């Protein structure tokens, strides 16, 4: 089931709205609508001069939408600078915790990472200044309330994102600064550890202040752990090639192979998938996952060519094993054919990659222990 919808593209980047955004907008609208006069008093914002109830909740919806427009601009700033720096941005997603710019890969150059990370908070500061100036120049009380409130929110958004809690913007800036002195892997590990410490602090504070802070703490902790592990895996796998880890003996099947025969091959060879070849050309991959698309009564009449995966990625034996790992993570496939001069010379699977990572990690450990 899809959890987000695409609402369009901007600067070539798809923009998606996650279903959790509905709950957050509703929560913010309710919070602002129920406390509009208290908020005005606390922040020194002019009384919006509206009736409590329906009108105040409509004001809350406007503020909530304005907040997520601000978050979108924040993420778009990251994306534009990333694209201009030569990095592909897969999408921008607005969801429960604000926004995320999903990049194909993060820059390892410290100065470039600082530039991409800092532009988000800087854009928020710019929006905050514009909203504040606009509020000073307008006399309509409701509009002044909205602009001053959004000004405060954008300044808060900038400040919060600059906290050195990896993988937030401030944490990425910290990682980049550390990477100027240490290796990229060590800098990431250190920044991730600091991020986890902040996550624990956020969680403790959230117990007494706001449960939403606990959710943010959980997200930061998990994201820091995952990115630190991902950087380590890619670093270790960059030391070996696909040709070093692939299986050179490849069992293939044809598109006319029956699904029944395919299942027998799975049992006989203890592999969950095989390349599909027609003549000298590979035309697809057939896996158990594809077989599950077929009902039991159709097993005996279905051919591999009817249900195989045709949108395949082929690797070269000279590619880094890290490229195979990236492709597996992005596409959700567990195996890729390996071609050399158009000829099938091997197949690399997720288990091959993980075994290689395990060996490289153990070898690194031996070196560190001077054995």
Residues with Cβ within 8 Å of 187's Cβ and at least 6 positions away in sequence, in order, are: 175, 176, 178, 179, 181
Mean pLDDT of 324-346: 87
Q: Are the C-beta atoms of residues 40 and 50 closer than 8 Å to each other? A: no
The whole domain housing 94 covers 4-237
Per-residue tokens: 8 = 């369009």
Of the ranges 21-30, 92-101, 314-323, which one carries the lowest mean pLDDT score? 92-101
* SS3 of 200-260: HHHHHHHHHCCHHHHHHHHHHHHHHHHHHHHHHHHHHHCCCEHHHHCECCCCCECCCCEHH
Mean pLDDT of 84-110: 85
Does residue 126 carry a pLDDT above 90? yes
Q: Kindly report the average pLDDT of the chain as a whole number.
A: 90
Among residues of the chain, what percentage have pLDDT more than 70? 98
Over residues 174-221, the pLDDT tens digits come to 999 999 999 999 999 999 999 999 999 999 999 998 888 998 999 999
Shared domain check, 110 and 25: yes
- Scored b (16 or more CB within 10 A) or e, 275-294 reads bbbeeeebebbbbeebbeee
Of 237, 261, 286, which residue sits at a domain end? 237
Give the domain CATH number at 276. 3.10.580.10
Query: pLDDT band for position 371 (50/70/90)?
Result: very low
Please give the positions annotated as active site. 75
DSSP, residue by residue, 21-54:
HHHHHHHHHHHHHHSHHHHHHHHTPPP----TTH
Query: pLDDT band for position 2 (50/70/90)?
Result: low
Among residues of the chain, what percentage have pLDDT more than 90? 56
Shared domain check, 213 and 70: yes
Shared domain check, 51 and 151: yes
Residues with Cβ within 8 Å of 207's Cβ and at least 6 positions away in sequence, in order, are: 214
Query: pLDDT band for position 370 (50/70/90)?
Result: low
Query: pLDDT band for position 7 (50/70/90)?
Result: confident
Quote the CA–CA distance of 214 and 347 in Å, as a whole number: 44
Write the burial class of residue 334 (CB in 10 Å: 0-12 exposed, 13-18 middle, 19+ buried). middle
Residues with Cβ within 8 Å of 246's Cβ and at least 6 positions away in sequence, in order, are: 317, 338, 345, 346, 347, 348, 352
Query: pLDDT band for position 279 (50/70/90)?
Result: confident
* Counted domains in the chain: 2
> Which residue has 């800098």 as its token pair?
187
Shared domain check, 290 and 342: yes
Shared domain check, 225 and 178: yes
Does residue 1 carry a pLDDT above 50? no
**In the prediction, which pLDDT does 158 show?**
95
């Amino acid at each position: 089931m899809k959890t987000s919808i695409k609402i369009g593209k901007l600067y070539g980047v798809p923009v998606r709205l996650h279903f959790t955004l509905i709950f957050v907008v509703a929560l913010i609208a309710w919070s602002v609508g129920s406390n509009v006069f208290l908020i005005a008093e606390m922040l020194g914002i002019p009384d919006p001069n509206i009736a409590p109830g329906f009108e105040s909740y409509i004001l809350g919806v406007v503020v909530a939408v304005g907040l997520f427009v601000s978050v979108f601009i924040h993420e778009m700033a990251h994306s534009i600078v990333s694209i201009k720096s030569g990095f592909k941005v897969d999408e921008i997603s607005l969801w429960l915790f604000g926004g995320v710019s999903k990049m194909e890969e993060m820059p390892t150059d410290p100065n470039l990472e600082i530039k991409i990370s800092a532009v988000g908070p800087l854009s928020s500061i710019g929006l905050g200044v514009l909203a504040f100036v606009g509020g000073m120049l307008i006399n309509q009380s409701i509009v002044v309330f909205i602009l001053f409130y959004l000004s405060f929110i954008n300044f808060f958004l900038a400040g919060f994102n600059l906290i050195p809690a990896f993988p937030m913007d401030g944490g990425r800036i910290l990682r980049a600064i550390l990477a100027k002195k240490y290796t990229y892997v060590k800098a990431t590990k250190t920044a991730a550890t600091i991020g986890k410490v902040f996550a624990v602090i956020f969680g403790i504070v959230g117990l007494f202040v706001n449960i939403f802070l606990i959710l943010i703490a959980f997200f930061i902790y998990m994201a820091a752990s995952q990115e630190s592990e991902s950087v380590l895996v890619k670093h270790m796998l960059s030391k070996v090639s696909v040709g070093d880890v692939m299986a050179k003996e490849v069992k293939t099947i044809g598109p006319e192979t029956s699904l029944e025969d395919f299942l027998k091959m799975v049992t006989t060879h203890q592999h969950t998938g095989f390349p599909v070849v027609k003549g000298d050309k590979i035309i697809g991959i057939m896996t158990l996952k594809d077989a599950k698309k077929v009902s039991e009564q159709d097993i005996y009449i279905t051919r591999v060519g009817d249900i195989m995966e045709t949108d395949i990625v082929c690797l070269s034996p000279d590619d880094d094993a890290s490229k195979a790992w990236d492709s597996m993570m992005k596409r959700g496939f567990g195996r890729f054919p390996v071609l050399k001069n158009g000829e099938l010379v091997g197949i690399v699977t997720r288990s091959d990659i993980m075994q290689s990572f395990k060996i490289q990690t153990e070898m690194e450990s031996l070196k560190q222990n001077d054995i």
